[in-house]
Structure 1
């Protein structure tokens, strides 16, 4: 999968997804009331998925390499713990040893490998660099749907207030 295919999946397959671009990076929000005809301003507080293509925000994944991108997904506490336990919840910045992106047994430069996000693992975010078609279909897609469902639920709770 490439960035365009993933972005298309998020914005064309899932309803009410709004994307904000910044320096080639994409931030995906659930915002069903936004759009060209909406009088309601978009709510871009916190994305449920990001697609990062540069080292602008962190250098852990060495995204300056040609054609390398990182897909970041906010999942539930249960999903995160089932994959990584509690140990992976600390961020890379909390670790004393940072060597070539490898901290606590995770090589944050490795392609097509699901791992805790190097900065936002403490917030139950996972990441994968350049997921293959198989990884996208079997692992990533269900997590994207979970992240979407969480975003929809948060939106509905907020709207009900």
Structure 2
């Protein structure tokens, strides 16, 4: 899967706001080139919530295990919920120990930094994980939509 394939898939889900920070938009330089997905039916950046998924294209300080400093490397990060985390990782998020070494490519793993918060990640998703990535993104979107509806009192 390419970054653009992932972005197109998520953009097709209802109520998604996709942010792609870059020079001149007021965003911090460290986020330039990355992609952030929010559930926001009104198209505004939610103030009190995190994205439900991200694509990162570089190593961040303290988050170098995916080795994103290589040409073309990227990682999709997904807040797919506790049940998905347990299914893929085999333990509760709070039991996950981060910082366990290099992250395998095209494999669903606990996020190297935010695994204890229930985030999953795939570095350079390919044939082994393409369907799983789509399923995890759809589940993360469903959960984000449900949170939004609870907070706003909306239904449907």
Please confirm whether the aligned pair reaches a TM-score higher than 0.5, indicating the same fold.
yes
In the comparison of the two structures, how many residue pairs are matched? Answer: 140
Shift of 1:43: 0.6
Q: Matches of 2:45 and 2:107 in 1, distance apart?
A: 33
Is 2:57 the counterpart of 1:62?
Answer: no
Given that 2:106 and 2:124 are in contact with CA atoms closer than 8 Å, whether structure 1 keeps it comes out as yes
The answer for the alignment partner of 1:23 in structure 2 is: 32
Cα RMSD of the aligned pairs, angstroms, is 1.8
Are the structure 2 counterparts of residues 134 and 62 from structure 1 closer, same or farther at C-alpha, using a change threshold of 3 Å? closer
Q: Matches of 1:111 and 1:77 in 2, distance apart?
A: 22
Secondary structure, in 3 states, of the residue corresponding to 2:54?
A: strand
Given that 2:39 and 2:144 are in contact with CA atoms closer than 8 Å, whether structure 1 keeps it comes out as yes
1:30-41 equivalences in 2 (<5 Å): 30-34=39-43, 41=44
Shift of 1:90: 2.8
TM-score (norm 1): 0.79
The answer for the alignment partner of 2:84 in structure 1 is: 79
Shift of 1:134: 4.5
Q: Matches of 2:144 and 2:13 in 1, distance apart?
A: 12
The answer for the alignment partner of 1:90 in structure 2 is: 97
The answer for the alignment partner of 2:26 in structure 1 is: none
Gaps of 5+ in 2: 21-30
Shift of 1:19: 1.5
Extract structure 1 runs of 4+ deviating beyond 6 A: none
Is 2:53 the counterpart of 1:49?
Answer: yes
The answer for the alignment partner of 2:102 in structure 1 is: 107
Q: Matches of 2:64 and 2:102 in 1, distance apart?
A: 12
Q: Matches of 2:127 and 2:39 in 1, distance apart?
A: 24
Secondary structure, in 3 states, of the residue corresponding to 1:107?
A: coil
Gaps of 5+ in 1: 35-40, 93-102
Structure holding more strand per residue: 1
